[in-house]
Chain A
Amino acid sequence: MAYSDKVLDHYTNPRNVGSLDKSSSEVGTGLVGAPECGDVMKLQIKVNPVTNIIEDAKFKTFGCGSAIASSSLATEWVKGKTVDEALQIKNTEIVKELSLPPVKIHCSVLAEDAIRAAIGDWKKKHASQDQPAAAVAQQA
């Protein structure tokens, strides 16, 4: 199978690899996929408590080149967005940007899931602290 140049670029030079302190109240962690399925993504965001802007994002991925590229791209895209804007990112946009073939669409779905899971985790932390209203939005 031939990979697109963008997939190869993200695979060779993945952006934002690493981990954030998952116990921090500003950090949301999403862990999606399963080893038996051949892909697991961990995506973390660090959110400014005043502006709700995602100031940093990190990932680690076990998976094929397209899964690595999808999550690498996801971290690039969420950075600088507000939490609500980040929730608007669709897997189809990842498919388009990376020119993923049909058999790799699930990689983009997983990346979208990872963004949502990270934001969900961050919202949960805040719902249990000082922002009970956020619990409603968590269902989005």
Chain B
Amino acid sequence: MSTNVIEQHGNKDVKLPIYMDNHATTRTDPRVLEEMLPYFTEHFGNAASRNHEFGWVAEQAVEQSRERIAKLIGATSKEIIFTSGATESNNLAIKGVAEMYREKGNHIITQAIEHKAVLDTCKRLEKHGFRVTYLPVQKDGRIDLDDLKRAMDDKTILVSIMTANNEIGVLQPIREIGALCHERGVLFHTDAVQAIGKVPFNVIQDNVDLASITAHKLYGPKGVGALYVRRKNPRVQLVAQIDGGGHERGMRSGTLNVPGIVGLGKACEIANLGMAEESKKMSVLRDRLKDKIMGQLDEVYINGSMEHRLPNNLNISFAYVEGESLLMGINDIAVSSGSACTSATLEPSYVLKGLGAGDDLAHSSIRFGLGRFNTEAEVDYVAQRVVETVTRLRELSPLYEMAKEGIDLSKVQWAAEPTH
């Protein structure tokens, strides 16, 4: 950022702009970067070079990284397959299983508020003769396990349900989902990118067969991720989606991104050592932000369960205020909105719509994603700026005025807009 402004807030200095969009990506931890750097320069070898020192050093670093990742999620190192990130991991898990187990069945179950990397992968499979069930979520953002039971049939081969949602941070009951899958001999994949390093996640205890991981959501670099593929009880097989030199036990060809992999491993090691403490800090900061905002504004609604939620996520709708205009007013703070105006598709967030929140509240939503580097002073500054801006925009809002006059906005006959 070219403009770093120091703002006096209370007695503490706050450096602007403030980054509070850690579900989108995180800053690479300096400890991670430091560990990566030698693998660009003196240790630049190809991990697949078996007959010289350069290759051995690179391979050793990759294997150490595999172990660090495995340790964080309760797996063994042979169960970690490196990829370019979670989009690829999700594609490999779902398409790889679909292709491998096609003889057994052609039915896949997922849910409506998955990431597009899962939803669009499933949609593509539908074009190739697979049947996909998209489970709805309840008002709190979690699936109903009875819906899942009812959706399963003798053709079901895979269930793919995320551990934590990227917009609302809601945690799904993955342990129960995994148990159900195992009872029925169905494989369970979970996109765990938002949860890993934030909340305890253990592939054995949580009955997970495949899990997608990415480095850049946990203070590692972009462009590297992993897929956990269970090797026993049951042994999961995949059809590779990228053909080539047969790297990663034939599941994912392509020269390994050694510096990135080293970064992912280091990020996992840091997360493993400090998770309990860091999660506590996140939830204290998050609750401080929530209490300050909700203490000063009326008609503010939290989207999704507060009980089953990532410690660093807050997703709020500010009734009568449109999200993009709110972002514009707090332009020294990086957050995101479910408003249509901020999305490429000009549709409001399908995740919030999935909760049954109504399009109007989806348009009014802001996602705050706290991270390792946020401070209490930043939280206080953000809360104050949000409160001021919402108050100002409500003065400008015809909806707020109508609501204050006692008009029920849901009963108003709105004039149709020609462009929508």
Query: Are the CB atoms of B420 and A106 closer together than 8 Å?
Result: yes
- With a cutoff of 8 Å between Cβ atoms, the chain B residues found around residue A39 in the complex are 322, 417
Residue contact B322 to A63, C-beta cutoff 8 Å: yes
Residues of B within 8 A of A134 (CB): none
**Chain B residue nearest to A34 in the complex (CB):** B414
Chain B hits for A36, CB < 8 A:
358-360, 363, 414
Please tell me which one of the listed residues A11, A31, A105, A117 contacts residue B398 in the complex, with CB atoms under 8 A apart. A31
Partner of B324, one of A33, A41, A64, A105: A64
Q: A37 CA to B346 CA in the complex, in Å?
A: 10
Q: How far is the CB of B418 from the nearest CB of chain A, in Å?
A: 6
**Shortest beta-carbon distance from A7 to chain B in Å:** 9
Chain B residues whose CB sits within 8 angstroms of the CB of A49 once the complex forms:
none
B residues near A117, Cβ cutoff 8 Å: 415
Q: Confirm or deny: B320 has a beta carbon within 8 angstroms of a beta carbon on chain A.
A: yes
Tell me if A68 counts as interface (CB < 8 A to partner B): yes
| CB closest chain-A residue, reference B361 | A35
A-chain residues with CB within 8 Å of residue B324 when the two chains form the complex: 64-65
Q: Is A26 an interface residue (CB 8 A)?
A: no
Kindly state whether residue B297 has any CB partner on chain A within 8 Å: no
A62 contacts B by Cβ under 8 Å: yes
The CA of A4 and the CA of B406, in the complex, are separated in Å by 37
A38 CB → nearest B CB, Å = 4
**CA of A17 to CA of B395 in the docked complex: distance in angstroms?**
9
With A17-B396, A31-B398 known as contacts, the answer to whether A106 contacts B341 (CB < 8 A) is no
- Interchain CB contact (< 8 A) of A64 among B341, B358, B401: B341
Interface contact tally, CB-CB below 8 A: 93
Which of A3, A105, A110 has a CB less than 8 Å from the CB of B417?
Answer: A110
Instruction: Please indicate the chain B residues that have their CB under 8 angstroms from the CB of A113 in the complex.
Output: 415, 417-418
* A40, B419: Cβ atoms closer than 8 Å: no
Separation of A26 and B400 alpha carbons in the complex (Å)? 25
In the complex, the answer to whether B399 meets A35 with C-beta atoms within 8 Å is yes
Any B CB within 8 A of the CB of A125: no
Is B4 among interface residues, defined by CB-CB distance under 8 A? no
Encode A57-69 as 1/0 by CB contact (under 8 A) with B.
0001111110110
Produce 1/0 per residue, A65-77, CB < 8 A to B.
1011000000000
Residues B348 and A11 in contact, CB atoms below 8 Å apart: no
Chain B residues closer than 8 Å to A110, beta-carbon distance: 417, 419
Taking CB atoms, residues of chain B closer than 8 Å to A64 are 322, 324-325, 328, 339, 341
Could you say which residues of chain B place their CB within 8 Å of the CB of A135?
none
The answer to whether B418 and A38 have CB atoms under 8 Å apart is no
Name the residue of chain B whose CB is nearest to the CB of A103.
Answer: B346
Q: Give chain A residues whose Cβ lies under 8 Å from the Cβ of B341.
A: 38, 64
Q: Is the CB of B415 within 8 A of A68?
A: no
Q: Tell me whether B321 is interfacial, beta carbon within 8 Å.
A: yes
Q: How far is the CA of A131 from the CA of B238 in the complex (A)?
A: 78
CB neighbours (8 Å) of B262 from chain A are: none
Residues of A within 8 A of B409 (CB): 35
Cβ-based interface call for B397 (8 A): yes
Could you list 21 examples of A-B contacts with CB < 8 Å?
Answer: A11-B329, A14-B396, A17-B395, A35-B414, A36-B359, A36-B414, A37-B420, A38-B322, A39-B417, A40-B398, A40-B414, A42-B398, A60-B396, A60-B401, A62-B320, A62-B321, A62-B322, A64-B324, A67-B325, A68-B396, A110-B417
Residues of B at the A interface (CB closer than 8 Å) are: 320-322, 324-325, 328-329, 339-341, 346, 348, 358-360, 363, 395-401, 409, 414-420
Going nearest first, the 3 A-B pairs with the smallest beta carbon separation are A34-B414, A42-B398, A35-B360
Q: Beyond the given A41-B398, A62-B396, please list 11 additional residue pairs across the A-B interface where CB-CB is below 8 A.
A: A33-B415, A34-B420, A35-B359, A35-B399, A37-B417, A42-B398, A63-B325, A64-B325, A105-B419, A106-B417, A109-B419
